């Protein structure tokens, strides 16, 4: 077991985990951050996506030890983010299983692109599967959140 010190959602957190433990294991099972979800475990569905130094990263395969000293963001950080409001308002989702990961990729996009074109939103969400077929509302919610963020910045 190794001690793994992480910076998660602006807080310093430590856990003891096997060398090579995937980041999602540390987040969910050791740090009790349950928003990040496990789907395929093979970088195929996007349910586990988190931001690592702002970059969408599959936490199901990324070794937690390699996240030491880097900024990890999870969906818990989005409680008061315009993305959350927009997704609720447009009911962008059905079962919701895919949404934690989608929200993180969307945040990564909006952090680097204030006014994303529809094609850019689609490309950013390409790693994600939504088996409920809520794609159109999800794309609309990301665009709405972007517009609101621009309004807030104006
Ligand atoms: S659980 Fe990581 S991509 Fe599916
Ligand atoms: S809302 Fe059910 S998988 Fe996307």
* pLDDT digits (tens), the chain, 154 positions: 889 999 999 999 999 999 899 999 999 999 999 999 999 999 999 999 999 999 999 999 999 999 999 999 999 999 999 999 999 999 999 999 999 999 999 999 999 999 999 999 999 999 999 999 999 999 999 999 999 999 976 6
CA distances from 19 to 24, 30, 73 (A): 14, 14, 21
Ligand 2 pocket, residue 131 CB under 6 Å = yes
Q: Whose Cα sits closest to atom 3 in ligand 2?
A: 130
- How much distance in Å is there from the Cα of 59 to the middle of ligand 1? 7
Closest ligand to Cα 97:
2
Q: Which of 91, 100, 131 to mutate to test the pocket of ligand 2 (most atoms within 8 A of CB)?
A: 131
Nearest listed ligand to the Cα of residue 130: 2
The protein residue whose alpha carbon is closest to atom 4 in ligand 2 is 130
Rounded to whole angstroms, the Cα distance separating 90 from 102 reads 15
Helix (H, G, I), strand (E, B) or coil at 127: coil
Ligand with an atom nearest the CA of residue 22? 1
Spatial CB neighbours of 67, under 8 Å, sequence gap ≥ 6: 4, 6, 23, 52
């Amino acid at each position: 077991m190794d001690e793994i010190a992480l910076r998660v959602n602006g807080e310093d957190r430590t856990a003891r985990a096997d060398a090579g433990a995937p980041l999602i294991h540390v987040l969910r099972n050791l740090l009790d951050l349950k928003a990040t979800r496990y789907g395929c475990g093979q970088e195929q569905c996007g349910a586990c996506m988190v931001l690592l130094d702002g970059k969408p990263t599959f936490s199901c395969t990324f070794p937690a030890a390699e996240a030491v000293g880097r900024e990890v963001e999870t969906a818990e950080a989005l409680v008061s983010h315009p993305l959350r409001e927009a997704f609720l308002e447009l009911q962008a989702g059905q079962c919701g299983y895919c949404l934690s990961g989608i929200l993180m990729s969307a945040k990564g996009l909006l952090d680097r692109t204030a006014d994303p074109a529809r094609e850019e939103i689609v490309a950013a969400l390409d790693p994600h599967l939504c088996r409920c077929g809520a794609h159109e509302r999800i794309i609309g919610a990301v665009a709405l959140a972007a517009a609101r963020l621009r309004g807030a910045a104006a």
